[in-house]
Structure 1
Amino acid sequence: MALLNGTSFTLSTEWSQSETVRGARLHYAQQWTLIQNYSKETDIDIQPPSPCSLLHGELLSSYSPSGDLKAVVRETSGQGAGHQFLEVWSSGGLKKLLHLTALDKHGRVYEDAQFGCLAWSACESRVLYVAEGKRSIAESSASASSPSAGEPTDKSVYWEDWGEGLTSKSVPVLCVADVAKGTVTVLQGVPSHVSPGQGLWAHDGECVFFVGWWHEPFRLGLRFSSLSSSQTSNLSVSSPRLSPDGRYLVYLEGQVFGPHSQCLSLQQYDLETRKISVLVDVVNRPKKDEFAGLYEALPPRCWASDSQRVVFSSARRNWRVYSVNIQNWSKLFHLSLNPSAENFGSWKLLTIQNDLMVVHCSHLNEAPRLVIQYCGHSYTALVIQVTPIQSSGHSGYAYTTLWSFRLSPYNTGHSGYPYTELTEAYLCSFPGGPHSQFFAEWNVTTAVLVKLGFAVLMVNYRGSTGFGQDSILSLAGNIGSQDVKDVQRAVLTALADQTAEKLLTLDPDKVVVMGGSHGGFLACHLIGQYPDFYKACAVRNPVINAATLLGTSDIVDWRYSCVGLQYSYDQLPTPEALTTMLQKSPITYAPQIKAPVLLMLGGKDRRVSPHQGLELYRCLKSRGSPVRLLWFAEDGHSLARVDTQADCFLNVVLWFQQHLHLH
């Protein structure tokens, strides 16, 4: 976050690092002082950074508009563990402390990116955040007889939550802490059928904007999903961002249901005229090398200081920074980079304040760096003046051979979509979900695998984000076929494209495959459909049987959409639907599998039940096929615990080395 103070800026950053000895993820802070030149505002002098300082128990933090105050939501550990506090810090030290747990106005504060917020009012006297409502007075949509206000709650009553990654988050409420008075108020007036989140203050400090998710008739898994904030319009919105002058609100909008990551439009709401206009529309089929659409959340701060331009990142192959003018939105500008900075393939905007952008940049063979960029006041494209701030220091061990190639995919014979879209892949080596995307950016898993001697192929098959909405929609109904053939074609192309100039020595008899979730679905399809081609397989929480997954996943809507069927809340399984799901699942190819399979399953996975992996495990065991299962009882779908990640990586490497007979 860049903070203006006269002609000097304080850049405060927060970082995380995995520490494997204790199996913990450490969070620490570092600050830089940036001094702007009077005569040339793009000339920034960077002072040496402060030493890193460990952050203890910080769940959320936010600077006030002036930068003079910092709000922190902190949770204690040890004695009194689980107590939450709201702290307000100034340059003179701790200014205010509110014991949120003792005040007992609400439950735990939400720290997730889906609902959570910590927003200062313009007058810097109040802080807005989201917390779990007190269930003794909240309505339960899962109970036929919801408790009335003041009535006790039956502990055995089932309370719905918002699914994978949002466990225990059920009834969010908007809360306001008055810093001067030391009080907390739960805002009233939110409709009972709506769960609020992503709140921010209007410029007058009296009104609040928020995104509301319908939770009737029941909650579906919300994380990584495209769910409605308005059932009547069948649209989903997110990332509301208010302009510095308080007049304009921009936000992202997309369709409900269907693919859970879709191409989104950027909408603008004029608070004076109360008119909505489209700043950036959905891109159905991008032209070569042109803007391919918006797919990710907007940065928390994305407005230029003149309140006329919105700046954001979007990816097609690489992350790029774009700017759109709200008065002349027919033209979108790609902010060109200084030629000396083109080594970095991906540029992802983290924040912008007073026209100073903070950007994370990296490449597949360049470790991440933090840079500042001055975006100026021009409404036309400009060359960014790049000033490096920080490097992770690992660039020296990056691999040196890297290229991307684009393939004309197989025509799978399905009508309604012209198969002119291209599959893209990255192959990385030393010399000598379904709707997501591999970017040309640093990936530590890829880097270490390459360091160990593997060549890693990452495939953006049709259905990946970054190639337009038509490409995404083409995968619905074609899973298990289109995506599988695209990946296999990419592998064959990589093996055939070994020219003397590239100095690659890829062995077609030592090809292995790994993936997670839908990537695990793909990996198991590949070893089943091409049983003599792949020599080993490692999968994390894979989808094995879509028919048996239907009743156990927190996103039952996607189980219909992915096989090309429409979903509604009152949907009941039919024999035809279950047959379609089964036919498109890798379990049908299990008898053909020859490759040894390593399964890594999270016992608390609510997205893809661990019983999916167990189903394949038992099938392979009954046929005497080599299989090993790792069970992580306390992990969810992402297997994100530090010790779990280390365990999984080491076991994958050893599994591949063992079955490729490598030493």
Structure 2
Amino acid sequence: MSDPSKLPYGLWPSPLTPDRMAASIRLTDVLWDRTGQTLIWREERSGRGVLVTRTLDEAPRDLTDSGSVRARLAYGGGEFTAGREAVIFVGENGRLYRLPLAHGLPRPITPPFGNAASPALSPDERWVIYVHSDGQTDVLALVDAEGRLWPQKVAEGADFYMQPVWHPDGTRIAWIEWDHPNMPWDGTRLRLARLEGSPPRPVSIETIAGDDRTPVFQPAFSPDGRFLSYILTEGEWDALVALDLETGARRILVEGTTLAPPAWVHGLRVYGWSPRGDRVFYRRNENAFASLEVVNLKGEIARLDLGPYTWFEQLTVAPDREALAMIAASPVIPPRIVSYEDGRLQVHRFSSAERIPPDHLSIPRPIQWTASDGTAVHGLYYPPTAPGIEGSGLPPAIISVHGGPTSQRVATYNADAQFFATRGFAYLEVNYRGSTGYGRSYREALNGRWGLLDVEDAVGGAQALVERGLADPQRLVIMGGSAGGYTVLNALIRYPGFFRAGICLYGVTNLFTLAAETHKFEARYLDILVGPLPEAAARYREWSPIFHADRIQDPIAIFQGAEDRVVPPNQAEAIVEVLRRRGVPHVYRIYAGEGHGWRRAETVAAFYEEVLAFLRQYVLFA
């Protein structure tokens, strides 16, 4: 008789079904209100953004019951802010709305024009500053919190604005701005303005830090108004800086580590001041694992014990006491809204039912391999995991390539990794050269070499698994979305036969059309990653998959959102036409109503069903 504990890799019975993958909600932000007694967070339910509130010791309740709370600038984010009695949020139509926390319906306070993000209430809650864009021109704008007056421009002239904040006395504001061709991690300016009048208008504006080669991230005023803090990247690593607004003295509180994430979305926060203004709580990122620490004004650092969690996002500190709230997770704990006070952790919201025991899930470990130029390349390796089940031989492996490409896979809950690892696949997240989290030189290594180094490192990661006896060399699969999908296509073109199959989600196929058609935020991104046009036209052609698609011979599954504004559907359809003409085995699915990523539950479930069917046909039973 066969041993019931031995099953072929890739065919293990996983508790993570496609329906269960679709059932989770997505937690995107959390804030305290200005009393410190109420938490407000945003969650996505099948693509709909909902604000939820919980007053301490009471049950959570939805604040919004219709429409969607969703900002559309860049990749979203910065959807809401909270006062003492009301929230200001961005509706899916791009307008700002005021909504009382107790009772009442949302009321628009800005006209139906363009898109807003990152609203910030003045200390007296009379005014709201926010970022506004009509798709071509971005500005920093101001409107009264009741919406009685017409919005006014506060700052203009830069290509982009982000992260506006108020000084506690209401007479100054600070923000981040930058210009093409930079992205916000390449170089930005921190600006400080003094305000007068009603409505308040800038009477002086100065640059505090940053330039075209020096990025600044997350300005924040200390609660006593003495300091303006920010994260600065002047060299290889980040530094947390506190500027004394009276003396002009600059204190470096933390340095030599990774603090700032790439600002793909508005409203990101990785630190917060204590209510007394004498300490700063912050997230440190070391080798894709996070720790939560606190530093005083003397630079003395202590690490907080947050138990089982290994990643934290959207840190917020209560205004009346040292109570922290955040989105916390680990590789075996899906994201939760968590507060930390007096050494005690409390969960306020779960993103899933958490019915799967943690010991049934895969725990990743950092892994390194050496590139041809001697650089150590980084990744997170998830071994196949299922209690009581063994495979025979070596497992098939999914080589996952993250998007961006300026991004990083970290030690949070990775639903994709668990979906495949619990079925008996090895799973490798490749943090290729160009990824964040490993120093500025590592991130900038991809500049001018996108399509080359990312492909080399994906192949190198697969080879590292094979050499260490962790993967079957005949059953390697490369998978990625957006920029990761671009890497998938180029890998199949440059290394035919190396991978058994590829899975490409909304991947870039034509760099020329991408440069011409993508949204404003990334309109000049390729100037850095590939080179400016027309000077770099030869490189655009060399690394655009569409011009070399006739070299693809391995089976490939291509998935696309019909309403994708970042990588339009014509990118996928052009390469699918080549595959059809040449008879290359492929699957093409375009999902109606979806954009750059899947939001609807029915799409998520259908996608995973399709992927499993594709892998069974072309990898497991090939």
Residue equivalent to 1:190:
155
Distance 1:309 1:628, change over 3 A: same
Distance 1:87 1:451, change over 3 A: same
Q: Is 304-313 or 636-645 further displaced after alignment?
A: 636-645
Determine the C-alpha separation between the residues in 2 that align with 1:558 and 1:4: 38
- TM superposition shift of 1:578: 1.8
Distance 1:438 1:654, change over 3 A: same
**Per-residue CA shift, 1:328-358, capped at 9, x if unaligned?**
34x6x362426xx2x3332335211221111
1:208 aligns with 2:173: yes
Determine the C-alpha separation between the residues in 2 that align with 1:536 and 1:212: 43
1:598 aligns with 2:557: yes
Residue equivalent to 2:449:
478
**Per-residue CA shift, 1:272-302, capped at 9, x if unaligned?**
2245555445x5xxxxxxx344325652871
1:233 aligns with 2:211: yes
- TM superposition shift of 1:515: 0.5
Residue equivalent to 1:251:
230
Determine the C-alpha separation between the residues in 2 that align with 1:466 and 1:26: 29
Match of 1:613 among 572, 575, 587: 572
Determine the C-alpha separation between the residues in 1 that align with 2:80 and 2:526: 37
Residue equivalent to 1:510:
475
Residue equivalent to 2:367:
406
Determine the C-alpha separation between the residues in 2 that align with 1:476 and 1:194: 21
Residue equivalent to 2:335:
368
Contact 2:95/2:116 (<8 A) preserved: no
Distance 1:196 1:511, change over 3 A: closer
Determine the C-alpha separation between the residues in 2 that align with 1:328 and 1:206: 28
Contact 2:362/2:418 (<8 A) preserved: no
Contact 2:482/2:507 (<8 A) preserved: yes
Determine the C-alpha separation between the residues in 2 that align with 1:205 and 1:520: 46
Aligned residue pair count: 537
Determine the C-alpha separation between the residues in 1 that align with 2:161 and 2:369: 44
Q: TM-score, normalised by structure 2?
A: 0.74
Give the SS at the match of 1:358: strand
1:118 aligns with 2:127: no
Contact 1:512/1:536 (<8 A) preserved: yes
- TM superposition shift of 1:111: 4.8
Aligned ranges for residues 332-347 of structure 1 at < 5 Å? Answer: 333=301, 335-337=303-305, 341=307, 343-347=308-312
- TM superposition shift of 1:609: 4.2
**Per-residue CA shift, 1:388-423, capped at 9, x if unaligned?**
4454431525544434242231224xxxxxx34342
Contact 1:32/1:50 (<8 A) preserved: yes
1:537 aligns with 2:537: no
Residue equivalent to 1:39:
none
Residue equivalent to 1:25:
48
Match of 1:14 among 20, 27, 41: 41
User: What is the one-letter code of the residue matched to 2:339?
Assistant: I
Distance 1:185 1:131, change over 3 A: farther
Aligned ranges for residues 187-586 of structure 1 at < 5 Å? Answer: 187-188=152-153, 190-191=155-156, 197-214=162-179, 226=186, 228-229=188-189, 233-234=211-212, 235-253=214-232, 264-276=238-250, 278-281=252-255, 283=256, 291-296=257-262, 299=269, 302-316=272-286, 317-325=288-296, 327-329=297-299, 333=301, 335-337=303-305, 341=307, 343-348=308-313, 350-353=315-318, 354-374=321-341, 384-391=343-350, 392-394=352-354, 396-398=356-358, 399-412=360-373, 419-431=374-386, 432=390, 433-498=404-469, 506-547=471-512, 549-554=514-519, 555-563=522-530, 565=531, 567=532, 572-574=533-535, 577-586=536-545
- TM superposition shift of 1:474: 1.8
Distance 1:591 1:334, change over 3 A: farther
Determine the C-alpha separation between the residues in 1 that align with 2:177 and 2:94: 28
**RCO higher in 1 or 2 (8 Å CA, sep ≥ 6)?**
2
Residue equivalent to 1:127:
127
User: What is the one-letter code of the residue matched to 1:71?
Assistant: V
Give the SS at the match of 1:479: coil
**Per-residue CA shift, 1:199-235, capped at 9, x if unaligned?**
3322222333333455xxxx7797x775644899325
Give the SS at the match of 2:570: helix
Residue equivalent to 1:42:
none
Residue equivalent to 2:87:
71
Distance 1:494 1:402, change over 3 A: farther
Determine the C-alpha separation between the residues in 1 that align with 2:258 and 2:225: 29
Distance 1:410 1:31, change over 3 A: same
Determine the C-alpha separation between the residues in 1 that align with 2:139 and 2:476: 48
Give the SS at the match of 1:429: coil
Contact 1:240/1:252 (<8 A) preserved: yes
User: What is the one-letter code of the residue matched to 1:56?
Assistant: S
Determine the C-alpha separation between the residues in 1 that align with 2:564 and 2:445: 28
User: What is the one-letter code of the residue matched to 2:244?
Assistant: D
- TM superposition shift of 1:265: 4.4
**Per-residue CA shift, 1:125-175, capped at 9, x if unaligned?**
x13143758xxxxxxxxxxxxxxxxxxxxxxxxxx725xxxxxxx454522
Contact 1:175/1:184 (<8 A) preserved: no
- TM superposition shift of 1:596: 1.3
Residue equivalent to 1:624:
583
Contact 2:142/2:153 (<8 A) preserved: no
**Per-residue CA shift, 1:492-519, capped at 9, x if unaligned?**
3334445xxxxx8x54433222101221
User: What is the one-letter code of the residue matched to 1:295?
Assistant: P
CA RMSD of aligned residues (A): 3.8
User: What is the one-letter code of the residue matched to 1:404?
Assistant: R
Distance 1:14 1:611, change over 3 A: same
Contact 1:84/1:108 (<8 A) preserved: yes
Residue equivalent to 2:100:
89
Give the SS at the match of 1:367: strand
Determine the C-alpha separation between the residues in 2 that align with 1:84 and 1:423: 42
Structure 1: runs of 5+ lacking an equivalent:
34-46, 77-81, 134-159, 163-169, 257-261, 284-290, 376-383, 413-418, 499-503
- TM superposition shift of 1:248: 1.4
Distance 1:337 1:63, change over 3 A: same
Contact 1:582/1:588 (<8 A) preserved: yes
Distance 1:84 1:420, change over 3 A: closer
- TM superposition shift of 1:363: 1.9
Give the SS at the match of 1:184: coil
Instruction: Pick the structure with greater CA Rg.
Output: 1
User: What is the one-letter code of the residue matched to 2:487?
Assistant: L
- TM superposition shift of 1:109: 7.7
Q: TM-score, normalised by structure 1?
A: 0.70
Contact 1:421/1:471 (<8 A) preserved: no
Identity percentage of aligned residues: 21
**Per-residue CA shift, 1:400-448, capped at 9, x if unaligned?**
4434242231224xxxxxx343422222422322221111111223333
Structure 2: runs of 5+ lacking an equivalent:
1-30, 70-78, 191-206, 391-403
Contact 2:131/2:162 (<8 A) preserved: no
Residue equivalent to 1:287:
none
Contact 2:317/2:325 (<8 A) preserved: yes
Give the SS at the match of 2:273: coil
Determine the C-alpha separation between the residues in 1 that align with 2:272 and 2:139: 26
- TM superposition shift of 1:254: 5.3
Distance 1:271 1:225, change over 3 A: closer
